[in-house]
Amino acid sequence: MTEPTPELLEKLMHVSTATLTTALFKRGFRNVFIQGPYRMNPGPNMVGPAYTLRYIPAREDLDGLESFADRANPQRKGVEECPPGSVFMIDSRRDSTAASAGCILATRLMKRGCKGIVTDGGFRDTPEISALEMPAYHTRPSAPTNLTKHHAVAINDPIACGGVSVFPGDIIVGDNEGVVCIPKHLVAEIASETEEMTVFEDFVLEMVQNGASIFGLYPPTDPATKDEFIAWREQNNR
């Protein structure tokens, strides 16, 4: 399977998660929007291949502060090995009663070229993470160290995040509404189709803002709509 090109990933920088979920639904994919996490620092889209970390429940004889000194600790190792351009995806079992990570690890990921960080749990140091340039998504602030509830067990394995199956290399797209996981083998067709869908949706929104009815427009069942769209597209250089 070929890797997505930078050109494909750039297309996804301008597509909403709402449009992506519709395009994936047309192909039979219903469970692609990661439920729970919200964006801490609104801004441009986050796009990149998934690099994953999986937690299981902590165990008292394994998860003391001394475990952080072990360079094989999957949380620490994952932060240092996450490839530049990737999105760091954390399976916290939807448990936000302890932090999935904090600002130091998030900053390290940012400095290493990571495109974003997502957990279905919570982060600590949230004022500082919210100020980072790198996109970050979580469900709520949680100050306790991850060791109180989470045992890091695997990196770059398939995970569940927010009820969605995420495989390493799947393409993650986040906007100011949430996060979508696109199966890697569908990225090329999804990126091209949703680029076109976005242009049409922009046209529809402008028509509705100008007082048009949605009947015959959305979906475009009225033949005149297609002609109007072509003219609008030429006029707006889209």
pLDDT in tens, 117-138: 999 999 999 999 999 999 999 9
14 part of a folded domain: no
* Residue 12 falls inside a structural domain: no
99 pLDDT above the threshold of 80: yes
With respect to residue 49, please indicate whether it lies within any of the assigned structural domains. Answer: yes
Which amino acid is located at 174 in the chain?
Answer: G
Question: Alpha-carbon distance 90 to 55, whole Å?
Answer: 8
For residues 87 and 173, membership in a common domain is answered with yes
Q: Does 15 reside within a domain?
A: no
pLDDT in tens, 172-226: 999 999 999 999 999 999 999 999 999 999 999 999 999 999 999 999 999 999 9
Do 44 and 80 meet the contact criterion of CB atoms below 8 Å apart? Answer: no
Residue 202 · residue 237 · CB < 8 Å: no
93/146 same-domain check: yes
pLDDT above 70 covers what percent of the chain?
Answer: 100
Question: Is the residue at 11 inside a domain?
Answer: no
Whether residue 66 sits in one domain with residue 40: yes
Domain of residue 201 covers 189-235
Alpha-carbon Rg for the chain in angstroms = 20
Task: Please indicate, yes or no, whether residues 77 and 142 belong to a single structural domain of this protein.
Answer: yes
Count of structural domains within the chain: 2
121 and 213 belong to one structural domain = no
pTM metric for this prediction: 0.95
Q: Is residue 81 part of a domain?
A: yes
- Per-residue model confidence as pLDDT tens digits over 24-77: 999 999 999 999 999 999 999 999 999 999 999 999 999 899 888 888 999 999
Q: Apex CA 130: angle with CA 124 and CA 136, to 5°?
A: 80
What gap in Å lies between CA 171 and CA 20, rounded to an integer? 12
Residue 172 falls inside a structural domain: yes
Are residues 168 and 200 both part of a single domain?
Answer: no
76 within some domain: yes
199 neighbors 229 (Cβ within 8 angstroms): no
Same domain, 143 and 227: no
